[in-house]
Each structure stands twice: as C-alpha cells, then as structure tokens.
Chain A
C-alpha cells in the first residue's frame, strides 16, 4: 500500500487511457475500506445473536484489527500514519464525546449528579495518582530495569490508563436490566472521566518536560485544572444556548438544521481548544444544554437525522480507533517489560476496586438509594479501558523516553480488560444477583404522578423551610418555563412534560401503525422526501390503500396502541430504544357500537384518529383505524385522541360515520410547534374533509375501506362533551333515536 503504483506509462504511443493513480486516493481509500470491513464484520457479528450476548463488540473490532494487522505485517507494509495527535484530538474524539453527551438521560444525570461527579473526578484522580505512585515505587526496584521513568512520566502514564470506557458494559447492563442508578453512574463516569483524563494528560504532559516538580507547580496544576473545567463548562453552555436560539429560526431551512447543531458543537470544541480549556467538557455541556430545546424546535426528520448522524460519526470514530488498536498491536515496535506490565495490570485492578469501595463508603450516606456491595462490585469490574486510553498513549509526545513501553502496556491493559473482563462480566453479573431496575414505565399515570410527587415534595420542603434537591429543581424548571423556553423555543408556549409526553406517544403510535404497514419506518420519511413536502399526500394514500389487509389484521380488535417508553441507556452501537411497544389499550367508543347494532349495521365503522405531527413534512399523521363491529370493551378515549365525531354526519347514515371536523381551535394552536403550518393545514383539511364525506357515503359496503390520508392537521378540537360519550362516566347512553 505504499507508493508503488505509478501510473502506467503509455507505451507504443497509446494515450494513457488506463491510469492508476493510487497515491492520490490512498488515505481516503484505506479509511473507507477499513470502515467497510469493520461494518461488514458488525453485520456478520450481529447475525449470531449468541455471540453478541457473550462478547462485546469492541472485542470483535479489536480482533478484526488484529487480523488485518497480521496480514499487513506479513505483507511487510506500514499502516498509514493517520493516527497523529491532531487527527485524534480534532477529528476522532469530538464525535465520540458528542454522542455520549447527547444521549445521556438528562434527568437521571442531574438526579445523580453528585455521585457521578464524585466518582468521575475523585475516582479518576485517585486512580491516576494511586497507580502513578505505586508504579513509581516499582520503578525504584532495579530488577525491572525501568529505573529511568520519572514520577511525572509515571503519573502521565497513570492518567492515561485511568480513563475508563465502560460503555460496552452498558449494553450488558441494559440486557440484564440492572438498576438505573448504576447505569447512570457508569455512563456519567465514562464521560466525565474522559474529561478529567484529558485535562490531566495535558497537565502532566506539560509537567513531564520539567525535571523537578515544585510545590507551586502542584497548586498551579490544581488551579489550572479547575479553570480548565469551568472554562469548558461555560463555553459549552454558551454555545448550547446559541445553538438552541438559532434553531428557533430555522424553520425555513430544514435541510440544514442538523448542520447547525454539528457546527455549533464542533465550534464549542474548537474554541475551547483555542483557549486551552477542556474541550471535552465544552462539547458535552453543549450537547446537554441544547438537546432539549433543539429537539423541540427542529422538525422530526431533522431530529432523526441528527440522532442518526451523531451515532454514525461516533461509531465510525470508535471503530477506527479500535481497529487501529488491533493493527497497532501487531505492527508497532513493542517494548515488553514483564515487570512493568504485570504490575500495571495489578495496580489498575487494585486501585479501581479500592477506589470504588472507598468512594462509595464516603458517598453512600448522602445518597437516597445507597449502593450495595453488588453495585460496587459491578462498578469496579466494569472499568474497561478503551479508545481514549489507546489514543492518548499512542499520541504521547516523543520526548518521553519510554514511549514504546507505555504504548505496549496500554495495549496490554486494554486487551486484557476488554477481552477478559468484557467476556466474563455477563456470567458474573448473573451470579451476583444485582439489584434490577424499576423501569419507569412512561405511562401517563406514572408521568402525572411523578410530577405530582415532585410538586408535593417541593411544597412540603417549602413548608418545612428546608431546601432540598427538589427546591432547586423546581426553581430551575420555573426559570426554564418562564424565561428560557420563551427565548429558545419557537412557539413560545411553556409546555408541561406531561403534554410533551402525550404528544410524543401519539406520534410514536402513528409511526407504529405506519411501521407495521410499510414494513420499515425509516423508509417512510425517505419515500416522502423533502421535496415532496409541498405536494399533496398522494403517496401515503397509496401506501395505506395497498396495505389494507395488514391493517385489518392489526387493528382487528380496535385497539389503539400507544407505545410506552422505557428510559434506556444507550450503547454506542444502538440508537435510543424507543420502540418497544407495550400497549395501553384504548377501546372503541361504546356508543358507536351501540348505534351500529341498533341500526343493523354489522359492519365496519370508520373512526378517524387525527394525530398531530409537529412537522407537516412527515405526512404520516393521519392513520385510519377501521374497526369491526363485534368490538369488545368500552369506548375509546375520544377527547385526547381527536376522534372527532362530526356533528354533521350524525344526521346521515345512522351516525356510523365519523367525519372530520377540523375545527381548528385555539387549543390546537397551542400545540402546534409550527403555527404557520396550521393555517395551511386547516384549509387543506377542510378540502379533504369535503373529499372524505363523499367516499363516506359510498362506503356502505361491508368491507372496510381505507381512508386516504390527508395532510396532517393540528389536533382537532375536542367537541364539547355533551356530544361525545365518555366511557368512564356514567352518562345517558347514546340515544340512537337522537339525530
């Protein structure tokens, strides 16, 4: 893969029709090929479910890298030197940390922030200094021949290897449903320990140049540390707000919405680097700050794009790093020193274990839910080292004499932890009977009551005059509602989380239906491309018309399914898992059935549920739920689901038809994030409302028919209660005679 390929010289006077210009594309080609190779391997890997359970993906990547590395070694070729300091820190690290920051569950994070920071900060420092000093002690023993490594160098090395990368474990924790506190601590620790590590690395790098460390240096170091971290925090928050604010105005330029997010995050990273602040902190804080507001402002599609791209970039980076790790294991010059390496391994385990024990001991009294011994064991054992350690070791400056030794040791440590701990973790977790999670089922009730409890406790705290957790949270939420949301969010309505959840559930449900219908939810947006947003909704019509039968099967019991969402801690290799449907059943309207029976209609009745979709582009808002007559159960929820029995239609066909009354009310106004769209849709609604009525009357036949989707509407208003039946209230039954 060196330069050997020269362009073929034209012989015999032939013009050079056939030229090979390898050097020009060498590097991008190689990266592409590696990525493809790794991705193919992932596909293959994931086909065998059994393997994925036992072996974490990182193992696979490293193995692959080892294989390719061996091939290259035997072919006597050099891997291209893409892995420089600049490339790593400027191109490979940001996506990884952006992804961590973006997908961290914010609420859980802040509820456990004390623990997370404690473990990350103090834990990493403990590990670094502990390992560094013990290694230095070992170095003093002449037998190992490492006498020349100074304390600073040891500390530098120790700081590199104390960066934990337990994200591979999260996948496992998810599978086993380990309790959330542990998950969030693990996740938070990995992010923040990266921060601490990078800062320490830079600090010690600087210090290592000096021969002697004075006391002032230490103090200076501490001050610098604090300054760097807080600086990063501030940059992150500022850029986060700017990004959120910008997205408020991007409704006309939807195509490039994700671009803003990426650019601002990256900008935060770079500017922090410029000022020598902690860029990792900056980008993480930026992601955390802007996520909430951005996801409200941007279109659904941009949101999806954003998530996908972030995951993809992070995946690429990490794949490349691990891949390269495998290759580097074979191809670099190693310096193997049994003593140093073994002791490093030993100390790494010992100090982590001790660290977790001691830190938990100190911290447990302050926690509401203290960590049990099993939790602590899991926490200690899942301290895998990963990408960051390797990259940092590899990019050590050359003036460090024993660089090769460090690299070798780091690689050894990573391999040992990833393979051994990674593979044995699962059985061990199973054995130790760890506390399982109480997943918050995001049912409406749970959400309502969580809110209720929060407010109650805040109230009680006020009455007691004691300030606790909830006081600050309450204060922040109030500030958020009153000020921040008004500035940063497009429609300026303070929205309760209950409402947001409700809308989300509705939307997801719509997607579920389409999903089942069209087979692949991700295909749906691609069908309806950005360019079609202006067109009418002809495509979705066709979709549904074709899939009538499937719909019948699914909806045969007139169940309207809302997905419950579980909070999930995502691994690097999977998108957030919002797609596990567990159903809340909402049953059909009682009265409709009655009226059907009374009029002898033993056939389907169309019920229209109109769902609001935040962005018209999606075109998948309306879904038709045909229903069969012998429907069991009480009536469905009419009001929130916008099942709108049209008053007009009642006079016709025995009230079995539900038309659409697109009464746009102020209510729907308040829930449309894109209010401008509303007026468009309401006019088109009225048109299609007209269209609907026609086929309606034709549809006296027994089969259920599909209604064409019409452009999404805002949530149609709930008709006044004297018209609808409520299943939960004993009201006079629908009088069939009434017209």
Chain B
C-alpha cells in the first residue's frame, strides 16, 4: 500500500493547493466520500440522496444537484456530471470554507464571489446565466415546502415580490414595455451588498481525524 499512499498523498497535495483545505481535512473528506460512495471511485446522485439526515432538508434536490453541476468546478464548463469523483466532491466542498484572518482583501473578495456563484448556480438550473422568475419561484417553493401548509400561491407571491425587489433596485426606471429578464449575476451580487454571507455560508471542516467519532 505504500505506492497508493504516496500516490494519494501526491493527489492530496494537488487538491490542497486547489481548494485550500488542509491535509487532515482532505483525508476526512475522503473517508466520508468512500463511506458515501460505498467504496466506489465515484459518487452518484443516489448515494447522496440516500443520506438519512438530508431527507428533511427542503432544498435537498438543489444541494445534491450542486455537487453534480459542472459550473461549481471552476472549470468554466457547463452542464452536469452523472457521477463525480473525489476531486469534484472536494471542489464543491471548498465553497464552504470560512474566511481566515490571514487572507488578503482580494482573496476575501474572490471567496465571496465564489460563494455567491455557488448560490447563483443553485438557482439557475438551466445554465443560461440568469435567474428567471420561474426558477426563482421554484426555489422559494422548495424552500417553503417543508414549513407547514404553505400554499403554492404564497410561495409564488413571495418569489414575485422578491423578484420585483431586485428589479426595482437594479433597474429603477423600467418603462411600461420593459420586462425584467432575470437576475443576472451582478444583480445577484448587488442583493448581497450589505449582507455578510461569508460567515453564514461556511462549514467548520474538522481537522482532527474523525474516523473514530462519527459513523
């Protein structure tokens, strides 16, 4: 096993530089990956959907889809995978790293943009670079789907209001004939102008070897 050890250590190195995780974190993630994929090389959607705890999550579908979305791989590709390997898995996870105090301003901005892109991609399921009203509605419906008996109309109403809000803040003087195509990434960013989302959108990846702790 020596060969595979060094091989994986080498691969980890690569991943480490690409994603910014530490070696321990990557090892933990790999362990988890193997668990989820039942020791296969690749992970499929079913593997993720079978996670018990995820069942209660209202936006489970979007989250799972995010893993298979090529856009989250920083490769400037579009479309989606059928199955993903460990590398892709870690790449997606890297969107959730917390900002560290040692980062420079550019790095912080880059990270923020990264996270925003992730969210944007979650909405924009048809890859056209815009969040249309339909897509937004869908997300809001899903989001509210588990909070009791919210009628479809409410969710729609809320999505509409939100959309209109974006429209009015970004395109203040729409004439009567204009319509708002959809939320572009710039507008999306604008939405978060005053929200500190880097800290909301982070997972504390464990550094210690958790093999013995969780099942």
Contact = CB atoms under 8 A, between A and B. Distances in A.
A460 B96 contact: yes
Interface stretch (A259-267, A434-442, A540-548): A434-442
Contact of A728 (B54, B140, B167, B194): B167
A454 B210 CA distance: 24
B157 A368 contact: no
B163 to A, nearest CB: 5
Nearest to A566: B194
Contact of A586 (B154, B168, B197, B203): B168
Contact of A455 (B58, B67, B150, B173): B58
A456 B122 contact: yes
A666 B144 CA distance: 17
B56 interface: yes
Contacts of B86: none
B201 interface: yes
Contact of A634 (B53, B62, B167): B167
B23 interface: no
B2 interface: no
Interface in B91-148: 93, 96, 98, 101, 119, 122, 133, 139-140, 143-144, 147-148
Contact of B63 (A459, A502, A590, A670): A459
A469 B199 CA distance: 12
B204 to A, nearest CB: 5
A167 B162 CA distance: 36
Nearest to B179: A730
B9 interface: no
A650 B84 CA distance: 56
Interface residues on B, range: 35 or more
A717 B92 CA distance: 41
A460 B150 contact: no
Contacts of A481: 147-148
Contact of A587 (B54, B168, B205): B168
Interface string B159-188: 011111111110011111011100000000
B159 to A, nearest CB: 8
A593 interface: yes
B122 A439 contact: no
B168 A368 contact: no
B74 interface: no
A468 B203 contact: yes
B168 A450 contact: no
Contacts of B158: 444, 448, 498-499, 502, 640
Contacts of B150: 496, 499, 670
Interface string A141-170: 000000000000000000000000000000
A633 B59 contact: no
B62 to A, nearest CB: 8
B164 A586 contact: yes
B165 A465 contact: no
B161 A502 contact: yes
Contacts, number: 208
Contact of B29 (A464, A498, A584, A670): A464
B203 A499 contact: no
A449 interface: yes
B40 interface: no
Nearest to B139: A452
Contact of A463 (B51, B176, B179): B51
A496 B59 CA distance: 14
A446 B195 contact: yes
A455 B144 contact: no
Contact of A453 (B149, B164, B200, B204): B200
A550 interface: no
A566 to B, nearest CB: 10
Contacts of A457: 96, 200-203
Contacts of B8: none
Interface string B26-44: 0001001001100000000
Nearest to B168: A585
A639 interface: yes
B179 A634 contact: yes
A458 interface: yes
A22 to B, nearest CB: 60
B151 A446 contact: no
Given A457-B202, A460-B63, A463-B48, A448 B176 contact: no
Nearest to B133: A728
Contact of A639 (B62, B157, B191): B157
Interface string A478-505: 1001000000000001111011001000
Contact of B160 (A461, A464, A587, A637): A637
A326 B214 CA distance: 60
A670 B205 contact: no
A666 B167 contact: no
A369 B140 contact: no
A640 B101 CA distance: 43
B153 A466 contact: no
A445 B57 contact: no
A680 interface: no
Contacts of B101: 370
A727 interface: yes
B195 A459 contact: no
B82 interface: no
A341 B34 CA distance: 66
B57 A462 contact: yes
A456 B201 contact: yes
23 contacts: A369-B196, A370-B101, A443-B162, A450-B200, A452-B59, A452-B122, A457-B200, A457-B202, A463-B67, A466-B210, A493-B148, A494-B148, A496-B150, A499-B144, A585-B172, A586-B168, A587-B168, A633-B168, A633-B174, A634-B175, A666-B151, A718-B156, A728-B180
Closest 10 pairs between A and B when the two form their complex, measured CB to CB: A494-B148, A640-B157, A496-B147, A459-B63, A462-B53, A438-B196, A639-B157, A444-B162, A368-B199, A585-B168
Given A459-B60, A474-B57, A670-B149, 6 more contacts: A448-B143, A453-B119, A455-B59, A464-B205, A465-B32, A728-B179
